[in-house]
Amino acid sequence: MYIGRIVAVGKNADGKAAALYRVSSRSFPNREAVINGSNIAVVPRHGHEADLHKNPYIAYNCARPAGRYMVVSNGSQTDPIAEKIGINVPVRDAITMGLLAMDYEKDQLDTPRIVGVISQDGEEAYLGIIRKDAVMVRRFTPENGELFYISTYEKNYTCPDFNDGNFNVQNALEAADYITGKGVFADFTNPVTAAAALASGNGFELAVTRVD
């Protein structure tokens, strides 16, 4: 099943908070996630920079810390949402304001914008989406080993049933690999690249992977 981009938030089996993002794409598969300091960005692979002229939505920060939270998303909404959380705007409000300000993407598919936020202790997890016909933001409380996810297509609403209860990884790289093709994510086609943040000490460990 093709469900497009995916964000997921939850905790690994040891109770460490995790925020994941996966690019799944049929139109622009020549992209990769790269770590840039404390952020992760999605960019065209070398030799495919001209894709930016075809679609301005394909490059953006997909993961960014915000105080004791980590934000993941499928577009440039990552930055304003993280900035608002960073100045102590309540997370639900920051997500809602950021999604409303940016709105869904004005491409040929009216692609929704999706976002996930997790607290460093894993006790607060949020998923949000803005589609052409709806805006939804929901808070979840994940158990150890549980991920909640949302996607741009098909699984494009905040539903507790969209979860994986077997998220057993030891580090951020394993988490990035997990969302590209393990657990429930193995059923979703066209993986391209992924980013992951896993709580570590007072912050988050980052990792990226790509499917060649």
Sign of the torsion angle spanned by Cα atoms 43, 49, 51, 54: positive
- At 78, phi and psi to the nearest 5? -50, -50
Contact of 149 with 18, CB cutoff 8 Å: no
Residues 6+ apart with CB under 8 A from 65: 38, 39, 71, 82, 197, 203, 204
- Residue 150's pLDDT is 98
What angle do helix axes 78-86 and 91-102 make, rounded to 10 degrees? Answer: 150
- Residue 212's pLDDT is 86
Segments making up each domain of the chain, as ranges: 6-210
Which pLDDT tens digits describe the chain residue by residue (212 residues)?
Answer: 999 999 999 999 999 999 999 999 999 999 999 999 999 999 999 999 999 999 999 999 999 999 999 999 999 999 999 999 999 999 999 999 999 999 999 998 999 999 999 999 999 999 999 999 999 999 999 999 999 999 999 999 999 999 999 999 999 999 999 999 999 999 999 999 999 999 998 899 999 999 98
Tokens of 44: 């065209």
Whole-structure pTM value: 0.97
Domain 6-210: CATH superfamily is: Inosine monophosphate cyclohydrolase-like (3.60.20.20)
Query: Burial level of 52, CB count in 10 A (0-12/13-18/19+)?
Result: middle
